[in-house]
Amino acid sequence: MASPKGIVVQKYGGSSVADADGIKRVAQRIVATKRDGYDVVVVVSAMGDTTDELIDLAEQVSPLPSPRELDMLLTAGERISMALLAMGIGNLGYDARSFTGSQAGVITTEEHGRAKIMKVTPGRVLEAVEEGAIAIVAGFQGVSQTTKNITTLGRGGSDTTAVALAAALNAQVCEIYSDVDGVFTADPRIVPTARKINRLAYEEMLEMAACGAKILHLRCVEYARRYHMPIHVRSSFSKHEGTWISGSIDDQPEDPTMEQAIISGVAHDRSEAKITVVGVPDKVGEAAAVFTALAGAEINLDMIVQNVSAAATGLTDISFTLPSTDVTLAMKTLDALKEQIGFESLLCDDKIGKVSLIGAGMRTHPGISAKFFTALADAKVNIEMISTSEIRISVIVDEADVDAAVQATHTAFDLDASEVEAVVYGGTGR
């Protein structure tokens, strides 16, 4: 019989279930929520760094493994942790049933390694819950609607699974458990004085996730915003209240005494590279040809900068950033266009990092850019590219300068806590 308090969806990351003791601790936590009178549906990641280890193993066997077989291999990680967790809950005297992504009704597109969720039909999960059981669902995976093959959702896919399930089940909240107490003003591994943020609007969290904050995946936040699903990010290693993510920045109170902080936090990302197309003829349609080709190869671009063309030559340079994993494909795609477009050469720099300043308050406060750039200059950090939105300023810097840039920015905007608040309970940050 379903609980009158409703359903809570809990997601536990790899560091929370890294070993047998971790799994037992998580099992106790889940059972405690069940005792509080909630129906519990759990989404679980693979143990520790299992996914990375399986990728390493696959590459030792085959330098270019089949995407279908790689997905089949990687989904094994979550199957291990979901079954062990169900055993741990059973050991505490509660009924738990584990389900793969496909058994839980996670229907996806057919792209292996980065499938998108099309719909969730959680019939078996609901049935288990109505019979009083705790349902454990493998994160990060689903089944293709067309091919019926097993698919994976890409990095951070377990967060997306959790929010999608929560929306499909009309859950009260989606709790994302990790190895830190919530979302902090910067990565605690770089800035020990980072402060925990109590509440964020979806837009602010979207910007932070897009800019490299590893605590939540971008797609997960997009999904939550679309379905108005509140997310509570907290630690599985403590009982502390975490960070609540809900509502829009437009819903913030107008009362000046209640004004939120100008800056929410500083995010960074070391997983991007920069490609420059040198000597592009400055005429209509050339940039379109470049970006159409990259779109055809399904490469996501982040920042784009086009220089003013040199009057003497009529040529310009176009630079953009993209995930490091897509560099080889992008260079190959652009190389095939060289004769058609007539550009001079391609340059690639994979030793870069992105540092972003995020906060809804910057919409109404002038001088944020000046303060940010002054802080970077004082820290002797050179800026290569700049990109802005209404609530974000991002810069590309040399990879070696990322830590210094994050620390300098964090201090310049008075985000440092007077004492160390952030505790990293586990995980490698890998």
Identify each DSSP E strand in 170-288 by its residue range: 173-178, 199-200, 231-235, 243-245, 265-269, 272-281
pTM score, whole prediction: 0.85
**Do 112 and 21 fall within a single domain?**
yes
Question: Comparing 360 with 428, which gets the higher pLDDT?
Answer: 360
Contact 139, 176 (CB under 8 A): no
**Do 34 and 167 fall within a single domain?**
yes
Query: How far is Cα 118 from Cα 108, in angstroms, rounded to an integer?
Result: 5
Query: How far is Cα 74 from Cα 55, in angstroms, rounded to an integer?
Result: 7
The answer to whether residue 228 scores a pLDDT higher than 50 is yes
**Do 169 and 258 fall within a single domain?**
no
Q: How many domains does the chain have?
A: 2
Query: How far is Cα 14 from Cα 28, in angstroms, rounded to an integer?
Result: 17
**Do 130 and 19 fall within a single domain?**
yes
**Do 259 and 375 fall within a single domain?**
yes
Among the ranges given (270-279, 320-329, 414-423), the one the predictor scored with the smallest mean pLDDT: 414-423
**Do 135 and 28 fall within a single domain?**
yes
Query: How far is Cα 397 from Cα 407, in angstroms, rounded to an integer?
Result: 14
303-350 pLDDT per residue, tens: 999 887 777 788 999 999 999 999 999 999 999 998 888 899 999 999
In a domain, 123, yes or no: yes
Q: Among positive and negative, which fits the CA dihedral 194, 198, 204, 207?
A: positive
Question: Comparing 289 with 258, which gets the higher pLDDT?
Answer: 289
**Do 161 and 274 fall within a single domain?**
no
Give the model's confidence band at 361: pLDDT under 50 very low, under 70 low, under 90 confident, else very high: confident
Query: How far is Cα 188 from Cα 191, in angstroms, rounded to an integer?
Result: 5
Give the CA count within 13 Å in the CB-facing half-sphere of 261: 18
Among the ranges given (26-35, 213-222, 281-290), the one the predictor scored with the smallest mean pLDDT: 213-222
In a domain, 195, yes or no: no
Look at residues 410, 405, 414, 415 and name the one whose alpha carbon lies nearest to residue 377: 405
User: What is the predicted pLDDT for the residue at 259?
Assistant: 46
**Do 171 and 265 fall within a single domain?**
no
**Do 172 and 305 fall within a single domain?**
no
Contact 78, 117 (CB under 8 A): no
Number of Cβ atoms within 10 Å of the Cβ of 355: 28
332-343 pLDDT per residue, tens: 999 999 888 889
Query: How far is Cα 315 from Cα 307, in angstroms, rounded to an integer?
Result: 9
**Do 259 and 169 fall within a single domain?**
no
Contact 140, 75 (CB under 8 A): yes
**Do 272 and 135 fall within a single domain?**
no
In a domain, 55, yes or no: yes
CATH code of the domain containing 375: 3.30.2130.10
Report CA-CA distances (Å) from 54 to 70, 157, 271: 9, 16, 20
The answer to whether residue 383 scores a pLDDT higher than 80 is yes
The answer to whether residue 430 scores a pLDDT higher than 50 is no
Percent of the chain with pLDDT over 90: 74
User: What is the predicted pLDDT for the residue at 339?
Assistant: 87
Q: Which residues contact 30 (CB under 8 A, 6 or more apart)?
A: 10, 40, 42, 85, 89, 134
Please state whether 144 falls in left (phi above 0), alpha (psi between -120 and 50) or beta: beta
Look at residues 140, 161, 178 and tell me which one is the last residue of a structural domain. 178
Look at residues 147, 178, 209 and tell me which one is the last residue of a structural domain. 178
Contact 129, 186 (CB under 8 A): no
User: What is the predicted pLDDT for the residue at 99?
Assistant: 98
In a domain, 188, yes or no: no
Look at residues 138, 179, 161, 129 and name the one whose alpha carbon lies nearest to residue 44: 138
Q: Which two tokens stand for residue 407?
A: 């620390």
The answer to whether residue 428 scores a pLDDT higher than 70 is no
Burial 215-239 (b: 16+ CB within 10 A, else e): bbbbbbbbbbbeeebbbbbbbbbee
Give the model's confidence band at 257: pLDDT under 50 very low, under 70 low, under 90 confident, else very high: very low
Give the model's confidence band at 429: pLDDT under 50 very low, under 70 low, under 90 confident, else very high: very low
User: What is the predicted pLDDT for the residue at 371?
Assistant: 94
CATH code of the domain containing 46: 3.40.1160.10
Expressed as residue numbers, the domain containing 366 is 253-430
The secondary structure of residue 6, as a DSSP letter, is: -
**Do 365 and 275 fall within a single domain?**
yes
In a domain, 33, yes or no: yes
The answer to whether residue 420 scores a pLDDT higher than 80 is no
User: What is the predicted pLDDT for the residue at 418?
Assistant: 78
- Average per-residue pLDDT in the chain? 90
User: What is the predicted pLDDT for the residue at 69?
Assistant: 97
In a domain, 203, yes or no: no
In a domain, 120, yes or no: yes
Look at residues 124, 154, 178 and tell me which one is the last residue of a structural domain. 178
Beta bridge partners of residue 44, listed in sequence order:
12, 138
Question: Comparing 84 with 211, which gets the higher pLDDT?
Answer: 84
The answer to whether residue 255 scores a pLDDT higher than 60 is no
The answer to whether residue 4 scores a pLDDT higher than 80 is no
Identify each DSSP E strand in 249-390 by its residue range: 265-269, 272-281, 304-306, 315-323, 345-349, 352-358, 385-389
In a domain, 194, yes or no: no
User: What is the predicted pLDDT for the residue at 425?
Assistant: 57
Query: How far is Cα 300 from Cα 277, in angstroms, rounded to an integer?
Result: 16
Percent of the chain with pLDDT over 70: 94
User: What is the predicted pLDDT for the residue at 260?
Assistant: 53
